[in-house]
Structure 1
Amino acid sequence: MKNKGSKSGGGNWLSLGLPSIFLLCLFFFLAGFFGSSLFSQQEVSSTLRPQPRGLEVENNQEFDLLPHGKTGEASLTRIPFQILSWSPRALYFPNFATAEQCQGIIKIAKKDLKPSSLALRPGETADNTKGIRTSSGTFISSSEDKTGLLDRIEAKIAKATMIPRNHGEAFNVLRYEIGQRYQSHYDAFNPAEYGPQKSQRVASFLLYLSDVEEGGETMFPFENGLNMDGNYDFSKCIGLRVKPRRGDGLLFYSLFPNGTIDPLSLHGSCPVIKGEKWVATKWIRNQVQDEED
């Protein structure tokens, strides 16, 4: 009985014919080949895909650390960033601060908010510049914050920019409500327009303290030399746009390394369409700032 069944099975295979058997074998071969290829591609892509990097201090045992100077540090830190643009130089820092830190800064600033003002050129007044900047805000120095929260954020900004923290102005915490905006402008002060400057703003670090449902982007209309034909409407929200997300940071440089103003660093804040925008701005200068600056 056993031998008879074996012969019967072989007969069934032979009854398919050589072409059918060939096609069946080819099918299994191709299925195995493409299956293994797909698996190997997934393995390669998983190794090449950028992985989120933590903000924690690295395990020092994994690295051969160098001796550090008196003002150096004995550990390695990683602060992830993405280059958004080389023209102007703009970098994005995801998860730079925690949700709790952002809420803490808002709580500190909320009680002292006033309508935001502008640095005026000769001949300008608050009346003829009305509508350019419509947010409310307040200045807070880290030395005034007894919780130490702003001190920690300021120290981290110094690490990210590699510019000593005593070059920074006080934090300017701003709130933008629906419809509020800041038209395109420069953070650096052109001496030809504003007169001689004791020091100049090298860079700006924006820490977004809240999500914005719609609108409120930080935009760079001249990114990569666009819209510079002399017909640009400063009230428009065009160009490279960075969406505010709570805890994220945006760093951009107003000066070239040679100290001249980068004309592509023109930027603004698009109107908030839905929700509310909170941001803490740290302006960083090319010289040490006195307490009264």
Structure 2
Amino acid sequence: MTSRLKSYKRKRLGLATVIAFCALCFLIGFYSSALLSQNVSGVRPRLRMLEMMKNGEVEEEEASSMPHGVTGDESVGSIPFQVLSWKPRALYFPNFATAEQCQAIIERAKVNLKPSALALRQGETAESTQGTRTSSGTFVSASEESTGALEFVEKKIARATMIPRTHGEAFNILRYELGQKYDSHYDVFNPAEYGPQTSQRIASFLLYLSDVEEGGETMFPFENGANMGDGYDYKQCVGLKVKPRKGDGLLFYSVFPNGTIDQTSLHGSCPVTKGEKWVATKWIRDQKQE
């Protein structure tokens, strides 16, 4: 009986020791964490930078700002984007501008809309290309828009593309009404078709100013080398399609880094089948624009 009692006491003593040890470890961990989380004198607080968006979740990575040059930015910035294609290089920018900014741009452009024109290739005429582009539009520079919306967008495009604002043409604000479209074409001017060029369009940025109920997608029929045979109908709405959403942006490059034309950058605007489409296009060139 005495030996059983001693064994029981040893077990209770061992259990009490384990509990006390666990409590001590918890307290040490708790206070150590609190001390480490306090601000340390002489250490700058770090900025939080949006790094990636995956499956609807936002991942953040710490980043501190650096000393900058005369023309640089004071702090770290980030513009979320998604790579839609590498052939052609096409990137999608959600929420690039606000709904209010988009509406201000539309209001500015409404009063000057005219039927959209085409840059004609050698041998083409206005009659032979009739129906290729049926939208209406107008050119507006950032300085001509009083609310500052276009200036904001232009500066943001420069950061997104790493190409200075001085290399961009004025914004081409376009409206596509029911049934209107733009057949597949290139934004780059092939000297073999258009003659010698003193400056070349190398990239295009489209800011969608409105939602479109049906149709109106921006299409890339040659994406990843598809449909590049001789039998392709340039009026077809096929290939990679990007649905317009108000405030979103689309960037694609018309030339490769070595300056040669990317044949897969052929693109067009599918017919609007329900609703209306507004878009602001910024063409970016390899030379400074006056």
Kindly tell me the number of residue pairs found equivalent between the two proteins.
238
Q: Corresponding residue for 1:248?
A: 248
Maintained 8 Å contact 2:66/2:75: no
Query: Where does 1:96-107 land on structure 2 (aligned, <5 Å)?
Result: 96-107=96-107
Q: Displacement of 1:53 after TM fit? A: 7.8
TM-score (norm 1): 0.79
Partner of 2:205: 205
Deviations 1:169-226 (A, max 9, x none): 0000000001000000000000000001111001000000000000000000000000
The verdict on how the C-alpha distance between 1:48 and 1:104 changes in structure 2, with shifts beyond 3 A counting, is closer
State how far apart, in whole Å, the 1-side matches of 2:216 and 2:170 are. 23
Mapped to 1, the partners of 2:146 and 2:132 lie a distance apart of 34
| Equivalent runs, 1:31-180 vs 2, <5 Å | 49-52=55-58, 63-180=63-180
* CA distance in structure 1 between the partners assigned to 2:163 and 2:109 by the alignment: 25
Q: 1:7 maps to which residue?
A: none
Question: What do you get for the CA RMSD once the two structures are aligned?
Answer: 1.6
Hey, what's the Cα distance between the residues in 1 that align with 2:63 and 2:235?
Answer: 51
**Partner residue, 1:264:** 264
- Structure 1 residues 66 and 236: CA distance shift in structure 2, 3 A: same
Partners of 1:236 and 1:242 lie apart in 2 by 15
The aligned residue for residue 221 of structure 1 is: 221
Contact 1:222 1:239 in 2 (8 A): yes
Q: Distance in 1 between matches of 2:146 and 2:233?
A: 43
Equivalent pair of 1:53/1:78 in contact (CA under 8 Å): no
Question: Which residue is 2:275 aligned to?
Answer: 275
Pair 178,81 (structure 1): closer, same or farther in 2 beyond 3 Å: same
1:63 Cα offset (Å): 3.4
Percent identity between matched residues is 72
Give the gaps of 5 or more residues in structure 2. Answer: 1-52
Quote the Cα distance in structure 1 between the aligned partners of 2:55 and 2:148: 37
Unaligned runs of 5+ in 1: 1-46
Seen in structure 2, the aligned counterparts of structure 1 residues 133 and 48 have a Cα distance that, compared at 3 Å, is: closer
- Deviating above 4 A after TM superposition, structure 1's stretches of 4 or more consecutive aligned residues are 47-50
Q: Matched residues in 1 for 2:149 and 2:253: separation?
A: 25
Change (3 A) 1:73 1:237: same
What's the CA shift string for 1:101-135, capped at 9, x where partnerless?
00000000000000000000122111110000000
